[in-house]
Structure 1
Amino acid sequence: MLDMIKCSTGGAYYARGEWVPADGEASAALAAKGFDAAAIENAKTGTMAYGILQAHNTSGDAENLKIKFDAMASHDITFVGIIQTARASGLEKFPIPYVLTNCHNSLCAVGGTINEDDHRFGLSAAKKYGGIFVPPHLAVIHQYMREKFAGCGKMILGSDSHTRYGALGTMAIGEGGGELAKQLLGRTYDVARPGVVAIYLTGSLPAGCGPHDVAIALVGKLFKSGYVKNKVMEFVGPGVASLRQDTRNAIDAMTTETTCLSSIWETDETTQKFLAVHGRAADYKKLAPADLAYYDGVVEVDLSAIRPMIALPMHPSNAFTIEELNANLEDILHACEQDVQKLIGRKDVSLDLCSKIENGKLRVDQGVIAGCAGGLYDSIYEAASILKGHTGGCGDYALSVYPGSQPIMMELVRTGVIHDLMASGATVRTAFCGPCFGAGDVPANGALSIRHTTRNFPSREGSKPGNGQLSGVALMDARSIAATTANGGILTPATDIDYDPTVPEYQYDPSSYDTRVYQGFGKGDYDALLKLGPNIKDWPEIAPLGDNLLLKVASYITDPVTTTDELIPSGETSSYRSNPLGLAEFTLSRKDPEYVGRAKAVQAEEKARRAGEGSAEVLAQLHKVPGCENLTWNDVQIASTIFAVKPGDGSAREQAASCQRVLGAGANIVTEYATKRYRSNLINWGMLPLQLVGATPFGLGDYVFIPNVREALKGDLQDIKAYVLGDTAKKFSLYMAPLTADERKILADGCLINFYKH
C-alpha cells in the first residue's frame, strides 16, 4: 500500500547527493569519495537542522540546547492563558515579535460574549506589551506566519501543534503555552539536540495528486513506527524542485502528525520567489546539506508513485490509497467501524460506514477544504478547475471552502475562482480553523465528511459521542474532494478526472493586512490596562511539591494512544480556555466522564489533610511502607494522577495538562509519552512525568505512595521507589526521562509560575 515510501534500517551519510549506509564499510566508501576521518566524524554537523539550531543555541553546548526564537505565534484559544501565565511570572514586554491571531474562536458563536472578550483582551495585550494582533477572519495562524514572518534560517515557536514553516527554510516548533511564556520572560527552550531524519524526495507528482496525498502517505508510514518521533524531518533530494511552494507548505504542515519535533527543507528559486512575491526577498538564502551530512534515518519518497490517498476515521495514519479502498470497500470499512467502536468505547454509539456503499462505491456526505493545509491558493485553484461545469447537487452532499487568508481570498476573487466555486454550489467562508478541531461545518449524526484539514481524531468534526452523536472525518486532498464533489458525492480520486492542473502565478495583495493588523512590536504602552472579560480568570494558586507524595489514581486508560482531544476536548469547550477552573470541568469528559468527580474528591482529601483531618485508615496503610512508620499527615501531600499507556498525541494545548493540575493532579504515570510537547506541558504545570516498565501494579482508585519524592527529583530519576497501598505495601519502580536543572526546579516549585516567583 505504502511502497512508494521506504525507510532505512539505520543511519546514512549524504555525500554530495549520494547515500552511503552507516555500516562497517562506510568509512572506506566515504574515503573513496574524498572525505577524511575528521569530516566523517563531524558529519552530524552537516545537516541544515544542525546549523539552524546551533545559530539559535545560547548554551554553548552543542548537545544540550537552550534556544531563543526569532518570533512567536498564538491564536485565540491559547494566547490568553499564555499572557496570564507570563503576567503572573513578571512579564514586562514582548521581547520578540509575538503574533496574536484570532482564527480558532473567531465565530463568537458559543458562550455569550466570551470569545470576543478574548479578542479584545488580545488587542489590549498587543498594545500594552508590544505585540502584533491579527483580527478575526483575516488569516489562519500558520498562513499569516508564512506570509509575514517565515524566512530562511529562522526559528519560530508557536502554541499550536501545526507550527511548521520548514518549507520556507524556518525551523518551527509547536509547544504548550508554558514554553512561550518562558520566551516572553527572556528564558530559553531547553532540549537535547534532536536526531535528524532525511526525507529524500525523487520524481514528481502525477496530475491529480496534491500535498495531502504525500502527507497522508508519510503519516501512514511513519506515525505508528515512531520512526521520526521527536526528531527533525529534513526534506532533501531532486524531488523537492518539482513541487510548487504551496504544495511544500501543505505537506510540511502535516509533519506534525508523524510526532516529529520540527522540519526543514532545502530552499531554491521557488522559495525565493514566494518570499519575493510577499515583499520579503531579503529573507531568502539558499539552504542545503553540506557536502557530507549524517542522518539518523532516511525516508525515501518516490513522488511519481504517489496516488490519491484517504485517511479513514479516526487518525491521519489510517491511510489507504483511494484505489485500494474502492477495491476492498466492505472489508476496510468494516475494520474501520470496529476500530472506531473500540476508540469511542460505547456500545450504544457506532459509526455505520458500510451502509454508505452504493453499487460498490462509497458515498460521502460532506466536503471541506480549509485551514493551514487545505486553504492554500494552489489547492483551491485546482479544486475549482476540477469542479468547473460540475456540481455536487442539491441533496445531502455539500462542499465548503475556507481560503487560509484574506490575501488568498482576494487573489481567488481576482482570478474568478470564487465565482466558479460558488457557481458549482460550493459555499465560501472566511479564514477559520474551526473545521480542523470541531467548530465549523459539523456534519449530521452518522455522516462521513471528507476534508483537506489536518486531523480526523474523535470529535474533530464536532460530534459528541457522550450525547449519542457520532460522525466521522476522512482526510483527503482538495483535488480528490473536488473530484468527489463533481461525481455527486461518490468517492473519486482526482486522477480519474481530465482537467488542466495549471495554476497561474500568485499575486499577493497585502492591503487587508495593512489596513487591519495592529503592528505594535517595540511600541508597547506598558502602563496601559488589559481589558478583561468576565470569563478571563487568573490561574489558581498551586502548592509546591511536598516531601512525600500520595497519589490516588483518578483515571485508568488502557487505549494504545490517548490524544490531547481526549484529555481536554476541542470544539465548543475552546470557548472556556480563558477560565482555568471553568475549562477543567470538561477534563476527560469524552473518555472518562467520572474523572472530574474523582479528582475533586482527591482534592477534598488534600484539603482535609491540610486542615488536620486526614484519614486515619489511609495513614495506617502509609505506616506499612518501610521506613515510614512514623509519618504524620504533615509529612505527606495528596494529589490525583491518571494512568495512560501513551498520552499526548495531537495538539500542543497546555490545557491537556493544566486542567488536570487545577483539579489537584500531581503526576501522570504512563508507559510512554506520545510527544515531547505534552510531557513539557506536564512539567511546566508541576506534574511529575512518571513512567513505568512492565505490568501496571495498581488500578483505578488505588493509592500510590512515593516517599522522599523531592529527594528523588534530585537524583538520576531511573529508579524511583513507589508503593501501592493496601493490606500490605506493594513495592514497584517508576522512572522519569532526563530533566534539565530548571525542569527539576519547576517540578519542585509546583509549576512554572511559582518557579518565576522564586
Structure 2
Amino acid sequence: MPGAIRGRLLTISQHRSAASVCFAMLGRESGGQSMAGRTLTEKIAARHRVRGDAVAGSFVTLRPRHLMTHDNSAAIIERFRHSGAPGVRYPWQCLVALDHDVQNTDPERMATWLDIARFCEQQHVDFRPCGSGIGHEIMVSEGLVVPGALCVAADSHANIYGALAALGTPVVRADAAAIWATGEFWWQVPESVQVVLNGSLSEGVSGKDLILGLCARFAGGEVRDRALEFCGPGVASLSMEDRLTVANMSTEWGAVAALFPVDDRTMQWMEAVRVERIKRGQRRFTRQQMDQWQDGALAADADAHWAARIEVDLDSVRSTAVGPDNLATPLAPGAAITVDKAFLVGCANARLADLRAAAQALDGRRVHSSVQFYVAAASREVQDDAVREGIWQTLIQAGARTLPPGCAMCIGLGEGVLRAGEVAVSATNRNWPGRMGEPGADAWLASPATVARAAVEGQLRGPDRPTNMQASFQPGFSSDRKLRQPDLCAGLETQITGRALLVRADDLDTDQIYPSTAVYRPLERHEMASLLLQNHDPQGARRIATADLLIGGFNFGCGSSREQAVTALQAAGIRAVIAGSLARTFSRNAANNGLPCVESPELARMMQARHAQATEPTLLLQGEVEIDFAASTLRALGEEFPFIRPAEPIQRLILDGGIQSTIRARFISPDRWEPEA
C-alpha cells in the first residue's frame, strides 16, 4: 500500500494497560443513578447497568437478560475461543437459533451446524437447530423477552423486542463473544424520539402499512440512530402482531430501538405465552412478576427529554407498497406492476396472524400461473398452529410453495433467489439491491395481504388515491455530547495518510458493501476483499485494492449488523473510513474491530459537489488524503475540514486493535476485573 500510518507503537505491557483502561472507560461510574426525567430507554438501561450513568449520550456497560445469536454463531465461537474465557459466563443468558441458511444441505455447512450444536451442549447453552424457527420469533413467543428487560441479538432486527415493552437493540459478533465471555457489553445510550399515535388503523390496513408509511414519510434521518418510544391513544388499537412488525422495521427506519408501552394487549400476550410455556414444561415468569410490569415504572417520566416528537394520525394510513430497492418511494396510485415472485417469509411478517391475513386475501383463488409464491412460517410452532387452523392447507391449495421455518429469501439464501430482471413483492423488511438475489432484480415491500393479492392477480396494484399520511415532526432537546471535542488518547496513531476511494452514494447499506450470499461462508481474507462493493459497483473491489482510505456519503453502512462490512474493508487494506455520517451499527462494528472512522459532513458535501457529473459509482481520488487526529483536521484535494474525534472509549478500542484484545486482556491479566454476581 502506498499510504502510511504515523504514530508510536505500544509495548505488550502498555497494551494490557490500555485494555484495562478501555473497559473502565466503557461505563465509567458517574455517581448515582437518578431516575428523574428519564425516558423508558434510559430506565431499562439503568436496570441492567453494571457501570455508568444511563443517560442519553453516555457510555455504559450493561448486562442483558438474554442474547440471541444465529448462523453467525460459528464465527462468534471462534472469537470466544480466542478471548481466553474459561467458559460461557452465564449460559442461561444465551440462545443460539440456526435460522438464516436453513435450506443449505452442503456437507461443509452441516458440519458447521454440528460444531455449533456441540459447543452449545458443552456450554449448556439453549440451542435450536435448523427448522425450529427464526430466533426473534422464538425470543418473543417463548417468553424470553419480557417487559422491562434488556434483550439483545447479534442481528439488526433485535428492535422487535420493544413491541413487548422491552429494550431490544442489536449488537455485533464481537459483542456477542464478549457477552458469552463476561455477560456484558458496552453501549452508548441513544437519544429518544417520542412517537404519538392517534386514532386507529382502518379495516384492511396493517402495522406493515404503518411502518412502510413512516419510512417513506420521514426518510430524511429524523430518527436515525435514536430510540423510538411509542405512546398515545392510538397504541391500544394496534394488535401485538402490528407492534412486532413496527418495532421490527424500525431498524429500516433508522432507529436502534423501538419501545411500546405496557397495556392490556401486552398483558394478554404475556399471559398467553405464560400458559403455553407451562404446557410445554417451561416456566419463564410468574403472575407476581406480571403484576410488577403494571406498576407504572415502565413508562417515560413526564419531564423526560426528547430529541424529537412525531405525531401520526392512524386513520390516515393507507395500504401501500414501497420500492423498488428503497423504502422511500410508495407505489403510485393506479399503478400496476407485473410480478414474477411473491414472498411471505421473515421475522417482520410470518406469524400466525400474517398467514391468516394472506389466506383470507386469497379468497379461494389460485396463485397466478406466472407467479411463484413462497411461504415460510416464522417458527415451527407457528406452522403447526397454521396447520391446525387450516391456514397452511389453504395456502398450499392455492399454489403456494412452502419452505422450512426460517429467514429464507429475506437474506437471499435458498429456493426462490431473485434473478436479474425479475420483479418481486415481499412481506420482508428489506429490498435493497442484491439483498434477495442479483442486483438487477426489483423488489417491493408490502403487507402479507397485499403480497397474497399480488400473487393471485399477477400484479402489484397501487392505491386508489395518494397515501397521504397525516403526520408531523417537531425537533426537541438534543444532547450536545457529540459536539464536544474528546481528548486524544495517548498512544493513538495521530495521522493516517494515503490514497482514498470515493464511494458515491448516500445510504450505502451493508448488502452493497458485502453480499449476503457470502456472510456465512468461511473465506480467506483475500476472498472477502474480492467481494467488496460488488452489489454497488462491479469494479469496486479492484479499485479498493489500491486504496488506503474509503470516503462515503451520509448514513454509510446502514442495514444489517454483519461484521464483514468492516472486516472485509480491513482485509482489502482500508485503514480508516471517512463519511458524511456513519450508521450506528457500522460504527460499532468498526470500533470493535479497531477500524478508525470519522464523520465530516462538509467533506462529504464537497465530494458530492466536485464529482456530481461523474458516472462511475466509485472513484479513486488523485493525491493523498490525510486524517490528522491531533489537529482534528481532514485534508483532501487541497482543502481542510475539521472533525470531532471519536469518543474516548472508542479511541481506546481502536488503540487496543478491537474488543477481542480488550476482553482477552481481562482474562490474562492478574488484576483482571470480574463482573458483579
Q: Are the counterparts in 2 of residues 313 and 473 from structure 1 also a CA contact under 8 Å?
A: yes
C-alpha distance 560-547 of structure 1, shift in aligned 2 (>3 A): closer
Within 5 Å, which residues of 2 pair with 1:64-463?
Answer: 64=58, 65-76=60-71, 78-96=72-90, 97-108=93-104, 112-148=106-142, 149-164=144-159, 165-186=161-182, 188-222=184-218, 224-279=219-274, 280=284, 282=286, 284=290, 285-286=293-294, 287-320=298-331, 325-327=332-334, 329=335, 361-393=336-368, 395-440=369-414, 441-463=416-438
Q: Does residue 483 of structure 2 align to residue 574 of structure 1?
A: no
CA distance in 2, matches of 1:208, 1:722: 53
Q: Does residue 43 of structure 2 align to residue 51 of structure 1?
A: yes
CA distance in 2, matches of 1:442, 1:162: 21
Q: Normalised by the size of structure 1, how large is the TM-score? A: 0.71
CA distance in 1, matches of 2:546, 2:580: 26
Q: Which moved more, 1:296-305 or 1:454-463?
A: 296-305
C-alpha distance 703-91 of structure 1, shift in aligned 2 (>3 A): farther
Pair member with larger Rg: 1
Aligned residue for 2:3? none
Aligned residue for 1:503? none
Kindly state the Cα deviation for residue 597 of structure 1 after the two structures are TM-superposed.
Answer: 4.1
The amino acid across from 2:453 in the alignment is A
C-alpha distance 411-748 of structure 1, shift in aligned 2 (>3 A): same
The amino acid across from 1:483 in the alignment is R
The amino acid across from 1:237 in the alignment is G
Q: Are the counterparts in 1 of residues 43 and 54 from structure 2 also a CA contact under 8 Å?
A: no
C-alpha offsets along residues 699-752 of structure 1, whole Å, 9 cap, x if unaligned? 725554658x6xx4xx6xxx4245559xxxx563453454233x2222123233
Aligned residue-pair number: 570
CA distance in 2, matches of 1:103, 1:580: 25
Kindly state the Cα deviation for residue 585 of structure 1 after the two structures are TM-superposed.
Answer: 2.7
Aligned residue for 1:700? 620
Give the secondary-structure state (helix, strand or coil) at the position aligned to 1:204. Answer: coil
Aligned residue for 1:747? 654
Kindly state the Cα deviation for residue 593 of structure 1 after the two structures are TM-superposed.
Answer: 3.7
The amino acid across from 2:328 in the alignment is S
Kindly state the Cα deviation for residue 453 of structure 1 after the two structures are TM-superposed.
Answer: 0.2
Give the secondary-structure state (helix, strand or coil) at the position aligned to 1:58. Answer: strand
C-alpha offsets along residues 418-473 of structure 1, whole Å, 9 cap, x if unaligned? 1111111112222121221222422343221111001000012201x4xxxx2111
Q: Are the counterparts in 2 of residues 43 and 294 from structure 1 also a CA contact under 8 Å?
A: no
Give the secondary-structure state (helix, strand or coil) at the position aligned to 1:484. Answer: helix
Q: Are the counterparts in 2 of residues 153 and 171 from structure 1 also a CA contact under 8 Å?
A: yes
The amino acid across from 2:373 in the alignment is L
CA distance in 1, matches of 2:462, 2:640: 54
C-alpha distance 578-166 of structure 1, shift in aligned 2 (>3 A): farther
Q: Which moved more, 1:277-286 or 1:296-305?
A: 277-286
Aligned residue for 1:475? 445
The amino acid across from 1:274 in the alignment is W
Give the secondary-structure state (helix, strand or coil) at the position aligned to 1:278. Answer: helix
C-alpha distance 577-473 of structure 1, shift in aligned 2 (>3 A): farther
CA distance in 1, matches of 2:338, 2:251: 29
CA distance in 1, matches of 2:48, 2:256: 16
Q: Which moved more, 1:82-91 or 1:205-214?
A: 82-91
Q: Are the counterparts in 1 of residues 339 and 458 from structure 2 also a CA contact under 8 Å?
A: no
CA distance in 2, matches of 1:50, 1:256: 19
C-alpha distance 581-185 of structure 1, shift in aligned 2 (>3 A): farther
The amino acid across from 2:461 in the alignment is L
CA distance in 1, matches of 2:566, 2:141: 32
C-alpha offsets along residues 519-538 of structure 1, whole Å, 9 cap, x if unaligned? xxxxxxxxxxxxxxxxxxxx
Kindly state the Cα deviation for residue 580 of structure 1 after the two structures are TM-superposed.
Answer: 4.9
The amino acid across from 2:200 in the alignment is S
Aligned residue for 1:669? 578
Kindly state the Cα deviation for residue 577 of structure 1 after the two structures are TM-superposed.
Answer: 4.8
Aligned residue for 1:632? none
C-alpha distance 226-135 of structure 1, shift in aligned 2 (>3 A): same
C-alpha distance 735-118 of structure 1, shift in aligned 2 (>3 A): farther
C-alpha offsets along residues 627-652 of structure 1, whole Å, 9 cap, x if unaligned? xxxxxxxxxxxxx2211112111111
Kindly state the Cα deviation for residue 277 of structure 1 after the two structures are TM-superposed.
Answer: 1.9
Kindly state the Cα deviation for residue 546 of structure 1 after the two structures are TM-superposed.
Answer: 5.5
C-alpha distance 736-438 of structure 1, shift in aligned 2 (>3 A): farther
Within 5 Å, which residues of 2 pair with 1:469-548?
Answer: 470-489=440-459, 491=461, 548=495
C-alpha distance 585-490 of structure 1, shift in aligned 2 (>3 A): closer
C-alpha distance 180-80 of structure 1, shift in aligned 2 (>3 A): same
User: Which blocks of at least 5 consecutive residues in structure 1 are unaligned?
Assistant: 1-40, 330-360, 496-543, 603-639
CA distance in 1, matches of 2:264, 2:40: 17
Kindly state the Cα deviation for residue 234 of structure 1 after the two structures are TM-superposed.
Answer: 0.5
C-alpha offsets along residues 578-633 of structure 1, whole Å, 9 cap, x if unaligned? 6555433312223244444455556xxxxxxxxxxxxxxxxxxxxxxxxxxxxxxx
Kindly state the Cα deviation for residue 414 of structure 1 after the two structures are TM-superposed.
Answer: 0.5
1:557 alignment partner, one of 489, 494, 503 = 503
Aligned residue for 2:552? 644
CA RMSD, Structure 1 to Structure 2 (Å) = 2.7
Kindly state the Cα deviation for residue 258 of structure 1 after the two structures are TM-superposed.
Answer: 1.3
Q: Which moved more, 1:483-492 or 1:167-176?
A: 483-492
